[in-house]
Amino acid sequence: MDDPQHTLVLIRKAGGGDEQAFKRLLVMYHPRLRARLMRQMDATMKARIEPEDILQQVYLEAFKAIGQFNYLGKDSFLRWLFTILDRKLIDEHRALHAERRDVRRETKSVSGDNQRSGYIDLIGRLQAETGTPSRVLRSREAVGTLHTCLAALPEHYQEVIRLRFIHGLPVGEVAERMRRSVGSIHMICHRALAQLRRQFEQMGLSSDEA
């Protein structure tokens, strides 16, 4: 993690509406958020929900609520993210016990290993297509970078990328799940990938920062 002074600068920029600074903060804190999530998920939840799906919800809510964050000293931003994460876990726990199902849970049939491979494949695809060297995208922060970039996309773009490129579902099945035509899904995939690619380029670092 970066030094405290640099982190404080990012927090202040993010609070002022700097989207790239906010994304970098989420990338920095991704490992600690995921570690907390894995400690708190029980066996039932792990069997039915992918950790990455919950983190994606956390990042999306954090993007929407950043204007409400008040800096109160060291680790206050991390504690704020933990609060969002804990609330999402409570919501998921209640939903499971109420036996509610949605598209995200139904795609749980895809194994965790396959889903992780989907994230890695998507990262490789985006790196190859941007053509811009980046320290972030070559590091262990790559998955965190992907999550933060996804969180900045419209929700239907997030869904189509998750279903088509992470879970690897056929276009026809994606269309059925999203209640759209096959042609519409092809168009959304193209636009979603283009926007995600731009997000990755914006997150890239110059060679002298590597």
* Confidence (pLDDT) at 206: 32
* Confidence (pLDDT) at 87: 92
pLDDT tens digits, one per residue of 102-135: 545 444 444 555 566 677 677 777 766 555 444 4
Residue found by looking up tokens 């799940």 in the block: 177
Contact (CB, 8 A) for 116 and 146: no
Q: What would the DSSP string read from start to end of 125-173?
A: HHHHHH----HHHHSTTHHHHHHHHHHTS-HHHHHHHIIIIIS---HHH
* Confidence (pLDDT) at 3: 62
Query: How far is Cα 129 from Cα 197, in angstroms, rounded to an integer?
Result: 8
Tell whether pTM > 0.75.
Answer: no
> Helix or strand or coil: residue 6?
helix
Q: Is 20 exposed, middle or buried (0-12, 13-18, 19+ CB in 10 A)?
A: middle
Number of other CB atoms surrounding residue 154 within 10 Å = 12
pLDDT tens digits, one per residue of 131-161: 544 444 444 566 777 777 887 788 888 889 9
Show the low-confidence residues of the chain (pLDDT under 50): 1, 100-101, 103, 105-110, 132-139, 205-210
List the domain boundaries for the chain.
4-209
